Structure 1
Amino acid sequence: MRRGAAAGFVIASLAAGGPAHAVDAGLEGSVRAGFAKCRVLEDERERVRCYDKLATLLSPPRYQGRLTAQTDPFEITAPTLLRFESDGPIFVMYLKDAQGGIVQNLHIGGGGMATFLIEKPGTYSLQISGSETWRVWLDPAEP
């Protein structure tokens, strides 16, 4: 996974189901803290779910780039969490259906990370415009 000026993850609230926040320093310690929080969970289902969230957060992005891009079509067969992160002050992304119609307009102002749940299975693509580097993940939605 590429780590730029604001890439990396803090897994501070992993066990509680909280989001990861992009930061540069402390990745190794944060990952250790995330594993430690999972390890102490007594309920086996919750422990496995915690580890699964950690693995998802550490997975490489499906798409990454700088400035503008149009992805090839991709298909989802179940609800999917679209997770996206930007290192620049401007990030706009259009989720498009198979015919090229805009399903959702998404943006991040000032950098950071955000998510959007794609509820309906189908074929989609992304049109991305950013002022700096960005990353996009397609994660399984939680049941």
Structure 2
Amino acid sequence: MKYEVQKSEEEWKKVLSPEQYRIIREKGTERAFTGEYYYNKEKGKYLCAACGAELFNSDTKYESGSGWPSFYKPTADKSVQSETDTSLGMTRTEVLCARCGGHLGHVFPDGPEPTGLRYCINSASLKFKKD
């Protein structure tokens, strides 16, 4: 798939930390309750750590108890993309940055209203910009 922001894997390694590279480019995850933004309550915007695209607003962040920052909707419908993930012996819906294709996390149908969705996102995939 073609993305607006494209880099070679060597270029990504130069701009991402080893942990960010493992999660964003290799579709990894961070341990539950360890991410930088899990407990963040400040107002602002969550951006893609790889390309800076605006992904989520703090107004849609909520405490899901999952161990990862959770949001009930992206900033805009076109901010993220999803695809089926059958790794680890289960079927889930993976969430990707629509601008660079970086792995963000997964979305589940057990979130709060108004969407009923829980975007479970790795802190390492995000940057936070205070309002």
TM more than 0.5: no
Higher Cα Rg, which structure? 1
Q: TM-score if structure 1 supplies the norm length?
A: 0.28
